[in-house]
Structure 1
Amino acid sequence: MTIFARFPIHKKLQFMTLLSLLALFLISVFTLFYHKGTLLEDRKIKTQNVVEVAVSVINNYVQWEKEGIMSPEEAQRKALDAVKALRYDGKNYFWINDTHPKMVMHPFKPQLDGKDLSKVTDPAGTPLFMDMVDVIKQDGKGFVYYLWPKPGLDQDKPVQKLSFVQGIPEWGWIIGSGIYIDDVNAVFFKQLIQIGVVIVVLFSFFITIGHFITRDIKTSISRISQNMVILSEGCDIHVQDQDRRDEIGLMARALVDLSKKLKQSKETEAYQKQQEARMREERATEMHKLASDFEAKVQDIIQNVAQSAMHLSGTSEQMSSAMTQSSDKMNASVTNVGDMANNVNSIASAAEEMSMSVKEITYQMQRSNDLVENAVKKIEMADSHAQALSAASSRVEEVVGLISDIAQQVNLLALNATIEAARAGEAGKGFAVVAGEVKNLASQTEASVQEIDQVISEMNVASQDILKSLEDIKTSSEEILSSSHAVASAVSEQDTTTDEIVRNIQMAAQGSQLVSSSINDVSSDMNDTKQSAFDVSQAAQDLSKMSERLRSEVADFVSGLRA
């Protein structure tokens, strides 16, 4: 903001008027002083011209003397008389002195005629006549400044005078005439007064015109400013000066246009408010409908999730119970296999004593056959349980797939809920938090499902290993049974086949140990599967709880949308 922005317009206009008047005054003063110099220069030229006229008069007499028309004395006398009678501008005159200097002729001071002027000075001490001689000797003519009494005034108070002198070399004269500076000053001051009067008149005229113009502009702008204030308050205005052709008229017409546009803007704003109110009502109705549809869909999905969670929990409990039963049966199988191992050891002992008693061998072989048949039955039962375990593992895989699908649906539901909460703004912040927790739980559930799936895959591999081991044990047991029958039918060949029987019995003992170890591994895997089933059951229960909480948050969110 410039310094001029601090002042009102009428002050600026007054300042411009005063500045213009000051410029006019300064220009007038400069012109006057320039005119004064010009006036003095004109007077100097005029004085030089009249002196040259007087010189031409004297030169006529000089020429007549040379031609012999007049004698020197007569020519000089008549020349002096002619010059003595010359006047210009009223009282201005000519005088003549020689180069001595000595006064030859002075029309107003005849007492100086013939007087030596070499010692004459003005009050300022200027040897004026000696200066005249010097000018003539140097240039033949020129101007000289000095003080000299003015005719008609006090002779004791000389004034400044400027004289032009020119030499008459034939007679040794110096003719001169001058102007008084106070005459020039008088003319200057007279003109100064005249111009001053004109300036005062112009000043008065400009000030008056400036005053009326300033008042007109100030009044018009004040009216426009007041109308703008009234218009800013929202009231109607009556604008004047519209018919003016200057900028104020343009501003007045622009203000009228602004008033019309503001009025139209108010009407448009009122119409927009009505439209916004109608749109808010329509949006509220639409949001209410969307909330109802959203609530119904979410409730249906939550119900499905809850049912799936309950089904998953029941399936997990069934799987855990089945794992418990399988574990008990596997423990029984371990005991039977241990018994079988002990019996095989007994058979080995009996084989060593086979050479002592064939009857004892026959009895022991019959008992061995019974035990082997019983072991085969147990192994077949263990094979059946292992197949059931494999089927349960497949069922667990299906349940895990169902849990994964449910977790993905919950994750998608949480994502949709987060989007709806973001669209709802402040009203959906709580719902967004719950949706985020549900999404995290779904992600955790999906991670747990992946871990369970990995455990089940490992359990399936172990089950296949168990089935293969049981097949091997079954094959070994059948071989033992065949060997036992061979021993029973070939007692006579006991001595030759005893070593082979002992070797086969040792292999059967090793197979029994392998079966026992495999069954222990299967039992450990079953325990892990049981723990995973328990974790799945817990996750299903947590999912059911979060579904209920999600149901409550959805209800609150929908209520907030409907409010």
Structure 2
Amino acid sequence: MKRPDMSIRIKFQLIIAMMSLVGIAAMAVVAGIAWTSIAKTEAVLTKSLLSEQNAAFALQRLSDAQGLSQDILAMTQLRDPDTYLPDFDSAVADVKAGMETVAYFAISGEIQSEVDAALIALGKWETATRIAISGEDTVTLPAPHLLESWRSEARQHVAAISSIVKSAARNQAREATRQSSFIMAVAVSLLGAALLAASAIGIFIARRTTSAMGATINAMTALADNQLEIDLPQSDKTDEVGQMTRAIRIFHDNALERRRLQEEQKTEVETRKKREAALRELVNSFETIIGSVVSEIHNAAGTMSDTADHLSGNTEDTRQKAGMVRTTSDNTSTRMQSVVEAADKLTVEIDQIGSAVVRASEVVNRASDRASRTNTDVAELAQAAQRIGEVVTLIQDIAEQTNLLALNATIEAARAGEAGKGFAVVASEVKALANQTARATEEISRNIARVQSSTTEAVDAIGEITSTMTEIHEVTDNISTSITSQTTATRDISHTIRDAADETRDVSQNLTCISGAIDETAQAAGQVQSASHSLKAQADVLKEKVTSFLNDVAAA
């Protein structure tokens, strides 16, 4: 059994409902996809930036803690652990907090593994360093090479975490941006295709309906002009057009019958009267049917006009929602620009820190050079003191010889008697002078020994200072290298965020294209409304033709 056709009113209501649902659903899907994509991109970029900042902060604080511990351990005088341990504990706590934050925002299992290894190495180095600083437990104090090994291992793990975080952040940002662009392109394409398909279906149904109505009106016009040799439209449809076509076919058959009756009128007067009565009955029935059909056409045309107005209203509402989505996209683009500005400020601050580290490295180099020159000067002073000691020894030897000569002169003067008294006085004075010289040279020797001892200690202290300066220079070089790497990574993130901002701007442009598609839908709704007015006009023409035909029949 053939399924009955839908009425014209239901067809046009179905067109309007389908186009409205397609437009609203497509806009909701596009808005949801755009919002989800933008939120995901922002979350990935924010998470990556926080991870990288905390990794850099942990690396900086680890350098501070290690530099502080080396400075404390390099002190040769008595040190108070309570004075230095709080600063050391604070720096180590900052490193651990930074590592825990990086682990919380970890975007890969590799980062978590490196964080665990870094915390283990940091714990070993922290425990050993606290023992070395406090000096309380000399039994468990590790060897210097183990302490240095743990320090290097902790720094290597923290530096590796910083490098992995930078690489993972850049990859995540690029992937999020690519997926967002792809999803938005697909959504916009589907929306445009859906709107165009709905518009095409509506125009197809409207044209098919008006085409069938036009064929019916042409047939009625021909019948009204008494042109009975025509091809009538098919009447197998069950809608209003099909009902009208079947009524026209009945009228056509009746017209043929009327012609036959007119030909037989001359010979069959009585039969003509009966047939005229039947014809009037058929005309009345036809008038009733045609009046009902024309009324239905008027109602369908009015419904078509109302639904076209409703479609225009839905199109305007959809246009407003598209504007809201575009405003949201613009706001997101503004926020992305703020993130770009923050990344640029971070780059400037890191550059300033790098400049300060370079200046500190230069100061350390100058201090190291000055300490080396001082060490050379003190060494020369020690050599001069040594030479003075040799001269004093020579003077002591001369004084002893002089004392012996004075003693011999005294003995010879005693042997000479009165003649040697004057010589004895001179010998006594020479002996006294020799004794004074010996005492003076002994005092000078003691002072020279103290000077030599002090210069030896000064040389050792300056050597320790030079070694410490060398280590500080190495640390500042490492910090400078890390800051340079951090600057490069921050610039990469800034470029990635700028790319994301450009993609968001592309989304806004795509929404502009969607607005164009909505305008095309509004034009299609206008075409449907025009078709409804045309249908009304054709119904009026049909009514006039039927009235004229019935008048002609009545006059005949």
Question: Is the TM value for this pair above 0.5?
Answer: no
TM-score normalised by the chain length of structure 2: 0.29
Larger Rg, first or second structure (1 or 2): 1
Flag the structure with more relative contact order, 1 or 2, with Cα contacts below 8 A and sequence separation at least 6. 2
The structure that is helix-richer by fraction is 2
The structure that is strand-richer by fraction is 1
